[in-house]
């Protein structure tokens, strides 16, 4: 379906979204379109409302007051900072939960192989490392072939090396499955490494919407990478030497 601009209908369409807790307005009339297959990272200070926004997109905020138009695809998956696996189910049972048994087994094994966990199907979650558990959570999301993947600091609890490996994995998985992605992160380099577009949420609004045109693989020492990092850090209120905060 074409929109009035002649473009394809976006996967996510948000108009004038307001979300409040008691007297505090967290999202104050937010607009956003995310195109099919677009990878968007969302930055913002702690408490700026990133999770509130993600939960609204995920339809997980029924108890929260708010108004606005929110259109999202039916096939969406959510990944959180903790893997949230059921400890009394095996790895493959966690991945295929709610899927029809026969089709589920095959798809589940394939998804586990894609995240590098072939052969761990019958392990219990507590037999896996944090990074492995997070890979199971990714497999559980991808097995549903989501049109939209929502991820709230999915690598925030991992050590730096594991996090870098997870970036490579997520990049590969997204190139293969092409979901639209909204990745909430505190990590500016993570955002620049992965995203097509970076938003900064501040005082209820997106104050930055930056397209990232760096070629892959993205080199952290590239001067253009550093410029984008400085611009975003300034937007986040972190004073980078040599530049004044925005």
Ligand X SMILES: Nc1ncnc2c1ncn2[C@@H]1O[C@H](COP(=O)(O)OP(=O)(O)OP(=O)(O)O)[C@@H](O)[C@H]1O
Which of ligand X, Mg ion, none binds 26 (CB below 5-8 Å, type-dependent)? ligand X
Q: Is 154 in the site for ligand X (CB under 6 A)?
A: no
Interface residue with ligand X, options 38, 44, 79, 143 (CB under 6 A): 44
In the complex with ligand X, the residue whose CB is nearer, 46 or 126, is 46
Q: For 240, how many CA atoms within 13 A lie in the half-sphere containing its CB?
A: 13
DSSP conformation class of 59: T
End-to-end CA distance of the chain: 39
Q: Which is nearer to ligand X, 50 or 144 (CB)?
A: 50
Strand partners, 12: 34
Q: Which of 8, 15, 16, 21 binds ligand X (CB under 6 A)?
A: 21
Q: Which of 47, 59, 73, 237 binds ligand X (CB under 6 A)?
A: 47
Q: What 3 state SS string does 202-244 have?
A: ECCEEEEEEECCCCCCCCCCCHHHHHHHHHHHHHCCCCCCCCC
Q: Which residues contact 171 (CB under 8 A, 6 or more apart)?
A: 193, 194, 216
Q: With respect to ligand X, which residue has the nearer C-beta, 142 or 232?
A: 232
Q: How far is the CB of 48 from ligand X (least distance, A)?
A: 4
Which residue's beta carbon is nearest to the bound Mg ion?
A: 51
Shortest approach of ligand X to residue 242 CB, angstroms? 27
43: tokens are 């930055």
Does 26 participate in binding ligand X (rule CB under 6 A)? yes
Which positions lie near Mg ion, rule CB under 5 A? 51
Decide if residue 65 touches ligand X (CB under 6 A). Answer: no
Largest CA distance in the chain: 60
Q: Judged by CB under 6 A, how many residues of this single chain contact ligand X? A: 10
The answer to whether 221 and 228 are in contact (CB under 8 A) is no
Q: Which residues contribute to the site for ligand X (CB under 6 A)? A: 21, 26, 44, 46-52
């Amino acid at each position: 379906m074409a929109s009035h601009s002649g473009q394809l209908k976006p996967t996510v369409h948000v108009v004038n979204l307001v979300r409040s807790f008691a007297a505090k307005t967290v999202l104050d009339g937010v607009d956003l379109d995310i195109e099919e297959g677009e990878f968007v990272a969302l930055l913002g200070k702690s408490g700026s409302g990133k999770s509130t926004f993600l939960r609204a997109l995920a339809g997980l905020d029924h108890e929260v007051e708010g108004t606005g138009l929110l259109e999202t695809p039916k096939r969406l998956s959510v990944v959180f900072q903790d893997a949230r696996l059921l400890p009394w189910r095996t790895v493959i049972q966690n991945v295929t939960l709610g899927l029809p048994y026969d089709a589920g087994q095959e798809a589940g094994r394939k998804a586990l192989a894609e995240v590098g966990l072939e052969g761990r199907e019958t392990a219990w979650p507590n037999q896996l490392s944090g990074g492995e558990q997070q890979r199971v959570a990714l497999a559980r999301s991808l097995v549903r072939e989501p049109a939209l993947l929502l991820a709230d600091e999915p690598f925030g609890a991992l050590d730096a090396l594991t996090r870098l490996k997870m970036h490579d994995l997520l990049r590969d998985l997204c190139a293969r499955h092409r979901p639209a992605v909204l990745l909430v992160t505190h990590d500016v380099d993570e955002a620049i490494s992965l995203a097509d577009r970076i938003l900064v949420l501040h005082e209820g609004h997106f104050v930055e919407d930056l397209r990232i045109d760096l070629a892959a693989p993205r080199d952290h020492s590239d001067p253009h990478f550093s410029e984008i990092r400085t611009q975003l850090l300034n937007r986040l209120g972190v004073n980078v030497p040599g530049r004044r905060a925005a």
